[in-house]
Structure formats: C-alpha cells, structure tokens
Structure 1
C-alpha cells in the first residue's frame, strides 16, 4: 500500500512521481500509514483535490480494509459529490459511515500535502462497529476504542 514505507531508501522525489502517475491514471491513490504502539494505522486518498473534492481519510483499519473503504467512498464522491460533514453513508458491503470534517488535514495527509499544499480539505470516514455504534459511544468496540476521530462531529 505504501512503498515509501517499504522502501525508505528510495528518493522521495521518485516516489512522488509514481504517486502522481497513479493519480493521473486512476484519479486518486490510497496512502497507508502503519500504526505504532498505541497509535492505530490510518489511510487516506491523494488526488481527489484535483477533481474539486475533499481528500478522504479513515483510521484504525488494516490496510486492505482501509483501501477498500476509501476506494468505494472516492467512487461515491465522484458520482454524488463531496461527502457532507454530519451525513451518514451506506455503501454496499461496508459498515455505516458518518462524515466528519478533519480539523487539521495537513497533519495527517503527508502525500496529499506534498502534491497540493497545506490548504487541502479532507473528510474522515468514521465507521460504525459491528453493533452499529460510532466511536463517540462509550460502548463502541466494546469500550476498546481503536478509531481516533480527527475532527469535531457535526451532530
């Protein structure tokens, strides 16, 4: 998912060229960031900005699940327009989502910032657990957390 992490000796310029090529070919790419210790992983899109849409981010999912969710949501955004904070989405074979405006996109979307600057917009796709609860519920994930919310929920 992130060859930059897998091949740290590769020059950053070369990696950015490859990212931009993928964006030109596919419309966007998905970048993953591995979790460490108490910090869960996150993944995000880069390339939706060029299409007049906010970038998307998801936290706490393993790379293959994050990529599936982000790709489905990016396709949905292209069809229906940008996700609106506070809106809930139901996408086929994915958990219920609630959209949250990111407070500081530049702090979490490194590659998107390298491509488009610090003024990018982003929305977090906050997903419900298997019982349908969101992270703002104390019972979410049986009280174990695991999905940081990176903005303020619009109720």
Structure 2
C-alpha cells in the first residue's frame, strides 16, 4: 500500500522528502505499484537519472522479485554494461530485453524527481 494510504496524516511534501532521503542514502529507490483490476503491477527505479543513467521499469512481478531485479540491473547499468536493446541476465538466470520507453507517464516518482523528460528502459522477459 502507498505511504499516504497507510498514514493519512502524511502530505505529498512528506512523501517527496522521504523519497529524496532514500535516494540520497541508497543512490536510488524502487517504487512498486500494486495492480488494480484490469492492470498488472509494476515497479520502477527513481534516482538513476541523477547518476546519468536511465530509470528502469518492469511489470508483473511481486514486490520482492521486482526490487531484486531492478536493484541488480541498476548496479549493472551504472557500470556501463547495459543499454537499450541489450539483453540483461538476472541473478536467477532469466534474461530480459531492455527496451526504450516512449511513454513514462506512469513513473510518477521519477516525474516528481526529474520532470517528464528522462530516459527509461523497460525490462521485458525473454
């Protein structure tokens, strides 16, 4: 559940400040969005843009699997070993194709941090 849903006393400013504290402490964060009827859950990074790398996005995984995948892929992309159209092999051996995202409007945390003009790559299972 979202932080404001869990604690209605929080404001958007509180959530935004917490997001930036987390990015400062860890370098980036993984934002998980629970599925709504008719839609798949998804997760994405916020903070890689600040390190001159694209944000990463994946859909259809549970929160732990998504965080593990995006954190490992984030470390790999910061090493300069991944880019658009590359294949990424996750720690569990699964392969994902990195595709350039054209529409980033669902990545609200990244938009809040960087505005609407940032690069993002989608990890698609092969």
TM-score (norm 2): 0.91
**CA 8–108 in structure 1, closer or farther in 2 if over 3 Å, else same:** farther
Structure 2 alignment gaps of length 5 or more: none
d(CA) in 2 for partners of 1:71 and 1:4?
24
Q: Does 1:27 align with 2:31?
A: no
* Superposition pairs of residues 27-106 of structure 1, within 5 angstroms: 27-81=27-81, 83-105=82-104
Computing the radius of gyration from Cα coordinates, the structure with the larger value is 1
Q: Does 1:12 align with 2:12?
A: yes
* 1:27–1:87 distance in 2 versus 1, CA, 3 Å: same
Aligned-residue offset at 1:89: 1.2
In 2 relative to 1, CA 10–42 (structure 1 residues): closer, same or farther, beyond 3 Å? same
Q: By how many angstroms is 1:7 displaced?
A: 3.3
Q: How much does 1:54 deviate?
A: 0.6
User: How much has 1:27 moved relative to structure 2?
Assistant: 0.4
Answer whether contact 2:77 2:83 (CA < 8 A) is retained: no
TM-score for the superposition, normalised by structure 1: 0.75
Tell me if structure 1 keeps the 8 A contact 2:98–2:121: yes
Give the structure with the larger strand fraction.
2
Runs of 4+ residues deviating >4 angstroms: none
Which ranges of structure 1 fall in alignment gaps of 5 or more residues?
A: 129-155
Residues of 1 paired with 2:54 and 2:119: CA distance? 5
Identify if the C-alpha distance between structure 1 residues 16 and 51 changes in structure 2 by more than 3 Å, giving closer, same or farther: same
